[in-house]
Chains A and B, each alone.
Chain A
Amino acid sequence: MARIPVRKTYKLYIGGAFPRSESGRTYEAEGANVARASRKDLRDAVRAARQAFPGWAGLSAYARGQILYRVAEMMEARRADLASRCAGAEEVDRAIDRVVWYAGWADKLAQALGSANPVAGPYFNFTVPEPTGVVGIVCPEEPALAGVVSRLAPAIVSGNTAVAIASRSRPLAAIELAEALATSDLPAGVVNILTGHKEELAPWLASHMDVNALDLCGADSLAPDLERAAADNVKRVTRGSPDGQSLWEIAALVELKTVWHPVGR
């Protein structure tokens, strides 16, 4: 007699845990019942991201790079599962390589984006990039896996924490990825992933007063309203590429701090 397989329940990823939606709602996507997150889940996710922010931003850049590289290792170990949730092995390879690429930026981005500034006075004046805080991400619908990875990696490598709303039509790859993140030394709350209806969740994310920046990559026709809501607390708004990698994707989500340090005998 053939063994009956044990199926997986696809849930949210908040604060390092995998809860169901507090609303008890699900919706069907890719043949599975997927959690349909509520406004309350979104607030919980933002709270988890805010709590995780000082610790993650305070790690050394080297340590963040190590952890991101560890994420790639965990993804590599889950190649088959990940491939079954996206366009296939080729997309998985691209996504893993992209995480490795961003992992390497962790301890270089300050050199590429910062500067020493020759001011006319007795001061050592320098500018350093710093994470902006909690980044809200509206993931693209496609590609299912590379889309989430392309948006999350540049957001967190500088020390930001993130709340991502997954693709509505292809959410399973994001949750599969969350399972790799959960086993990769990434501190709880650095990445939080919500599945559900984008048009229902994104407005709450855009108007949340404890979110510092928005990546509207997958917002499509929702974008103008979300941009308007983002003004409530002067959020930085960017539209990242759904399947690309660049230092400038990191730069869009950092602040620049300039310090005047006195020079004297």
Chain B
Amino acid sequence: MTEVERTHAAAPAPSGWEYAPSLESRDIVRLEARYGVFAGGKWLEPRSGEWYQTINPATEEPLAEVAQAGAEDVALAVQAAREALESGWAQLPGSERAKYLFRIARLLQERSRELAVLETLNGGKPIRESRDVDLPLAAAHFFYYAGWADKLEYAFPNRSPRPVGVCGQIIPWNFPLLMLAWKVAPALACGNTVVLKPAETTPLTALFFCDILRQAELPAGVVNIVTGDGRTGAALVRAEVDKIAFTGSTEVGKLIQRELAGTGKRLTLELGGKAANIIFEDAPLDQAVEGIVNGIYFNQGHVCCAGSRLLVQEAIAEEVVRRLKRRLSTLRLGDPLDKNTDVGAINSAAQLRKIEELVEAGKEEGAEIYQPPCRLPDRGFWFPPTVLTSVAQSSRVAQEEIFGPVLSVLTFRTPDEAVEKANNTPYGLSAGVWTEKGSRILWMAERLRAGVVWANTYNRFDPASPFGGYKESGFGREGGLHGLEPYLDFL
């Protein structure tokens, strides 16, 4: 029995929720023993000579060895991207570029089961999410931007759009393939070539994506993939690229912004968040509780726009927390490949330590902790869905991004107070508003300093919908017409 289970041994166990295991087969994924650097359409041994093992965070079982690309490897990939840019990709008519993107979208659909299983194996997220969210959205993103490739002059009238050049793209581990799609699709649609660095812990779907590029017969060097840790990312930032697009922590985003000062390289940053999910007393409560759960426990809370601060109107606070706790007791934590699983594995040991440390700090600052009874597997990295109540506005768990399945509950009395509290962080990525009153939705939406506002829903994404932050959550938008601008220069 784990520590958590012992703590809550007395809590009522949910009854009538027994499910037989329903495991997705992993046979569909055939892994090589090793993956090198993908540059110029070829697999290369890393010049760095270094490799590291990538694992399944749910079991700690090694999956494959991947290259720890060094500065020389990054330079080679950038050179391949430069050659591809100059040897025809940028000059290819938009209508022809579009066809490659349409092909990629179709191939992603055709191979979606394989990629979904792989995403779950390497990242720890429930198969239901990789199957129903990550993969369909990744394909949709390529479809959406494919259509833009030959229509750019309509998106930016009087501006003569042209490609930026070689784009260095650094993506996080929470939605590995989807973040690849968010980066690669608009870049290629605009006539750029790219060097992409997947996250250290989740390189595998990006490496499988290289095979999709082969099937799509995308010209060599248009997309290059270098794997590795932060050192590889730093090398890419310093390499001869024309633009850096980064999604990750605010801390690293600031380092990149400093590093690029004075270089003239373009930059877009999609950084952290500490979003408020605001529940008014007239909200449909059952629907709101589902929204709260989806807002913070979706993908184990590894979501930059996660609704990690619940702001609930005082009159209904007790009722909402009561219903929330009851709902939490029905969440199923466990094998991410089980189609019944709601909460999968934490992505890495390092992330688990960070979550544990912040929750500990929250308790020390006076927060009360609730975790439903659940059995944590013996191996792998796990953290139960957690609710912190009696949280002060100044508490670390109300201010800092936890990036885990941990919800901090605060209350408010008036709409003005809700706005004040919601905006009281250095971040500004997203927010949620729950109320039956349409005028209040729009009144709140006007005042929330956040790039995305969800009303009576949460964590919805669509390729046509621009996404990105205010304040220290970064700058630039991904998705929609506005997502093209970061990948274009104008005469």
Query: A residues engaging B (CB < 8 A)?
Result: 115, 117-121, 123, 125, 127, 132, 212, 223-225, 227-228, 230-234, 236, 248, 255-262
Say how far B301's CB is from chain A's closest CB, in angstroms: 20
| A112 CB, nearest partner CB in chain B, Å | 10
A197 to chain B, nearest CB (A): 21
Contact B269 A234 (CB under 8 A): yes
Q: Which residues of A contact B441 (CB under 8 A)?
A: 261
User: Is the beta-carbon distance between B250 and A119 smaller than 8 angstroms?
Assistant: no
- Which of B217-225, B364-372, B389-397, B471-479 contacts its partner? B471-479
| Chain B 442-476: CB-based contact to A (< 8 A → 1; otherwise 0) | 10010000111111110010101111101111110
Q: Which residues of B contact A212 (CB under 8 A)?
A: 471
Please name all residues of chain B whose beta carbon is closer than 8 Å to the beta carbon of A118 when the two chains form the complex.
464
B254 touches A231 (CB 8 A): yes
Residue of chain A at shortest CB distance from B477: A256
Task: Tell me the bound Cα distance from A119 to B454 in angstroms.
Answer: 13
The answer to whether B271 has its CB under 8 Å from any CB of chain A is: yes
Contact (Cβ within 8 A) A260 B464? no
Residues of chain B having any CB pair with chain A under 8 Å: 140, 159, 250, 253-255, 257-258, 260-262, 269, 271, 426, 438, 441-442, 445, 450-457, 460, 462, 464-468, 470-475, 477, 480-482, 490
B442 touches A234 (CB 8 A): no
| Bound CA–CA A258/B481 (angstroms) | 12
Cβ–Cβ contact B472 & A233, under 8 A: yes
Could you write out 24 A-B pairs with CB less than 8 Å apart?
A117-B462, A119-B464, A125-B462, A225-B262, A227-B260, A228-B258, A230-B261, A231-B254, A231-B257, A233-B472, A234-B250, A234-B254, A234-B257, A234-B472, A234-B473, A236-B475, A257-B450, A257-B452, A257-B453, A258-B451, A259-B452, A261-B442, A261-B445, A261-B455
Q: What 13 additional pairs, Cβ within 8 angstroms, besides A115-B481, A260-B457, A262-B455?
A: A117-B465, A117-B480, A121-B460, A121-B462, A127-B465, A212-B471, A228-B258, A230-B257, A231-B255, A234-B250, A234-B253, A258-B467, A260-B454
Residues of A within 8 A of B460 (CB): 119, 121, 123, 260
One of B254, B255, B258, B462 near A119 (C-beta < 8 A): B462
Q: Is the CB of A227 within 8 A of B261?
A: yes
CB B398 to nearest CB in A, in angstroms, measures 19
- How far does the alpha carbon of A227 sit from the alpha carbon of B266 in the complex, in Å? 12
Main secondary structure of the interface of A (DSSP, over half): mixed
CA distance A234 to B472 in the complex (A): 5
Cα A212 to Cα B471 with chains together (Å) = 7
Residues of chain B within 8 A of A259, CB atoms compared: 442, 445, 452-453, 455
What 5 A-B pairs are tightest by C-beta distance, nearest first?
A224-B262, A227-B261, A231-B257, A119-B462, A228-B261
Determine the residue in chain B with the shortest Cβ distance to A264. B456
**Shortest distance in angstroms between A208's beta carbon and chain B's nearest beta carbon?**
14
For A234, list chain B residues within 8 Å (CB): 250, 253-254, 257, 269, 271, 471-475
* Complex: chain B residue closest to A127, CB-CB: B466
The distance from the CB of B416 to the nearest CB of chain A, in whole angstroms, is 12
Please state if A227 and B465 are interface contacts (CB–CB under 8 Å). Answer: no
Residues of A within 8 A of B475 (CB): 234, 236
Q: Closest residue of chain A to B157, judged by CB?
A: A112
The reply to whether A117 and B472 contact each other, CB–CB distance below 8 Å, is no
B280 CB to closest chain A CB, in angstroms? 14
Write the nearest CB–CB distance from B361 to chain A, whole angstroms.
23
Contact B438 A261 (CB under 8 A): yes
Which residues on the A side are within 8 Å of B442 (C-beta)?
A: 259, 261
Which residues of chain A are within 8 angstroms of B451 by Cβ–Cβ distance? 255-258
Which residues of chain A are near B457, meaning CB under 8 Å? 123, 260, 262
Rounded to whole angstroms, the CA-CA distance of A151 and B146 in the bound complex is 37
**Closest approach, in angstroms, between the C-beta of B162 and any C-beta of chain A?**
15
Closest to A257 in B: B451
Q: Which residues of A contact B464 (CB under 8 A)?
A: 117-120, 125
B432: shortest Cβ distance to chain A, in Å? 9
Residue of B nearest to A262 (CB): B456
Q: Kindly state the separation between the CA atoms of A117 and B464 in the bound complex, as whole angstroms.
A: 6
CA distance A117 to B255 in the complex (A): 33
Q: Beyond A127-B480, A212-B471, A231-B258, is A256–B466 a contact (Cβ under 8 Å)?
A: yes
Residues of A close to B445: CB separation below 8 A: 257, 259, 261
Partner of B426, one of A231, A233, A261: A233
How many whole Å from A213's CB to the nearest CB in chain B? 9
Task: Specify which chain B residues have a CB less than 8 angstroms from the CB of A115 in the assembled complex.
Answer: 466, 480-482
A258 x B466 contact (CB < 8 A): yes
Partner of A260 from B159, B465, B473, B480 at Cβ < 8 Å: B465
A120-B140 contact in complex given A228-B262, A231-B261, C-beta closer than 8 Å: yes
Question: Measured between alpha carbons, how far is A227 from B477 in the docked complex, in Å?
Answer: 20
Distance to closest chain B CB from A45 (angstroms): 20
Instruction: Give the chain B neighbours of A225 by CB distance below 8 A.
Output: 261-262
| Contact partners of A258 in chain B: CB under 8 A | 451-453, 465-467, 480
Distance of B254 from chain A, by nearest CB (Å)? 5
Distance of B258 from chain A, by nearest CB (Å):
4
A41 to B248, CA, bound (A): 36
How many angstroms from the CA of A225 to the CA of B262 in the assembled complex?
A: 8
Q: How long is the Cα–Cα vector from A259 to B467 in the complex, in angstroms?
A: 10
